[in-house]
Every structure is written in structure tokens, then in C-alpha cells.
Amino acid sequence: MVTVPGSSVMDMSTWTRYTTAGDYGQRRPTTSVELGPGDVDGLDRRLLGDVSDMRVLDLGCGAGHSAVALAKQGARVVAIDADESQVALTKEAAERAEVHVEVHQADLADLAFLNADTFDAIVAVHSLAAVADVGRVFRQGHRLLKTDRPIVMTLPHPAALMVTTDSPKTISSNYADTDTLGAGHYLTHRHGIGHIFTQLNRANYRIDTLIEPANNGPHPASVVFRARKIGT
């Protein structure tokens, strides 16, 4: 159980919706990049297109299902995670799928070992929910991307973080709250949509897509952004 500051005690299943790590991540499909939860079938194809022979950075790879999915589609994948256990799981997932994924353990905002202007896309599936300073990550991504190439990321929708998984569901916090939820693999910073817009603009990206996928509930579970690098 996780005690959320300012709210009731919530079951850990609340946070497994927002992570690709641990046991949950190992159960996710490897046929596509799952930008969920929510109505996201085919969304990766719409936002990334044909990734064959593209060099793609999986930023916060968790248990590796996105990295493997991209490699199966022909991408040259570099996968990064700060957690040693997640790096090991990604390597194991790639070996099982018999695909090549270059995997590194590193802080998501400390990527100086990667060459600038060498990536065709960056994918971050709920991983930036675990990062307090997303602006720093966006600046690193800008250095790594080729001009006009995208970062595609999904985050827990701020509205979803207000609601418990109790039955009946209850609102446990305000939309504008900034407290941190969960712990370990389930750590979730509340990144408001306006905050993400501001940080991407400051890091010199052009946001061209924002999607709030339909969900079987009163609010979207996720929010998906695509933003392209401006300049050099």
C-alpha cells in the first residue's frame, strides 16, 4: 500500500497504470509502443510513422517492452534507464525476442555519453513521471535529436492523479497539487499540461500534437505529446 500525502491510502495498482517497470512492465506487449493506458491502439504508428532504420532513444525503458517493439519494427534502438534492475530486464527482453537493443544505465538527464544530433526520435512512455526536472531532460533530448525530429512521450493525465481506485471512486486531491505520489518504480510527479508546454517551449521544441486518449472512466488516464526539435 502507498500512502499519498493529503489523501487516503491507495492500493499500489493505482500506480501500475503509469509505469513500464517491474513485473507490470514485463507483462506488456512487445508488438507496438504502448502509449497508454487508454484508447491508444495504433497511436505509436500515427505519431512515429515507419521507424525502420531510424535511430530511436527509449528514454526510461523500464522492463523493455517499448524498446523491443521498436527493434522488431526495424529501428536501431538505444534504451536508457536509471535503475540497474530495469536495465537487466530490458536486456533479457531483447534476448528473448532475439532483437538487438543497445542498453545503458544512466540518469535520464545525464546523457553526455551520447553524440549530439544523432537520433531520429525519442520515446518516453510514462518514464518522465519519475523525473522532477523535466526541463533538464528536454534540453538533453534537444541536443541528441536531429533538427525537426520528434520526442513522443506519454504522462499520467493530471486529472487521473486526482482520483482514487476505490469503489466508488473519490477525488482525493486538487488538479493543481504538486505533491509526489508513490515510491520506487511507482514514483509519480504531477506534471501539469501547461507545465509540460512551458518546459518544451523553453527547450526549443515545437509542440504539434497533444492527445488525451479516451478511457473507460470519467477522465483520460494519459496525456500524449509530440514535439519537434527547432534549430540546431
State the pLDDT at residue 140: 96
- Segments of 139-232 assigned E as strands: 150-156, 205-211, 222-229
What CATH fold (topology level) applies to the domain 2-229? Rossmann fold (3.40.50)
State the pLDDT at residue 163: 72
State the Cα–Cα distance between residues 172 and 133, nearest whole angstrom.
Answer: 25
State the pLDDT at residue 187: 67
State the Cα–Cα distance between residues 46 and 63, nearest whole angstrom.
Answer: 24
Pairing of strands 222-229, 101-105: unpaired
**pLDDT beneath 50, residues of the chain:** 1-15
Distances (CA, A) of 230 to 138, 145, 161: 12, 10, 31
> Is the distance from CB of 15 to CB of 2 less than 8 angstroms?
yes
State the Cα–Cα distance between residues 221 and 160, nearest whole angstrom.
Answer: 5
CA 77 vs. chain centroid, Å, equals 15
State the pLDDT at residue 112: 94
For the whole model, what pTM was predicted?
0.86
The H helix count followed by the E strand count for the chain is: 7, 9
State the Cα–Cα distance between residues 54 and 226, nearest whole angstrom.
Answer: 17
State the pLDDT at residue 12: 41
Neighbouring residues of 72: CB distance < 8 A, sequence distance ≥ 6: 30, 31, 97, 99
